């Protein structure tokens, strides 16, 4: 069972993730992403918004598939910087790995 923690997005500010709440899940980033992989990055951003930390950790490999090409950042209507969120989540996952 997935545990939800609404304060999780705030915790990620320590890893440079501060625009997650700006995203309203329109899907523009997923539509332009060259990976076209199961609604990435939209799905992983939604996991952050609802605080599904275990889902992020279960899908950590997806974070390293991001090419950081910047297309999602350029097309995001809310300037939520999906690519930067992915980079911050990488830092978070590495931190979790180091602590385990």
C-alpha distance from residue 91 to each of 12, 66, 77, 88 (Å): 9, 14, 25, 5
Sequence ranges of the domains in the chain: 8-99
* pTM summary value: 0.90
The per-residue pLDDT for range 1-43, each reduced to its tens digit, is 667 787 888 899 999 998 999 999 999 999 999 886 777 899 9
Please, are residues 23 and 78 in contact by the beta-carbon 8 Å criterion?
yes
């Amino acid at each position: 069972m997935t545990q939800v923690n609404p304060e999780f997005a705030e915790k990620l500010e320590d890893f440079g993730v501060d625009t997650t709440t700006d995203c309203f899940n329109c899907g523009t980033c997923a539509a332009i992403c060259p990976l076209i992989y199961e609604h990435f990055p939209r799905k992983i951003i939604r996991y952050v918004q609802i605080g599904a930390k275990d889902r992020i950790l279960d899908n950590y490999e997806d974070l390293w598939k991001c090419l950081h090409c910047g297309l999602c950042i350029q097309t995001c209507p809310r300037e939520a910087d999906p690519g930067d969120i992915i980079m911050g989540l990488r830092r978070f996952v590495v931190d979790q790995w180091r602590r385990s």
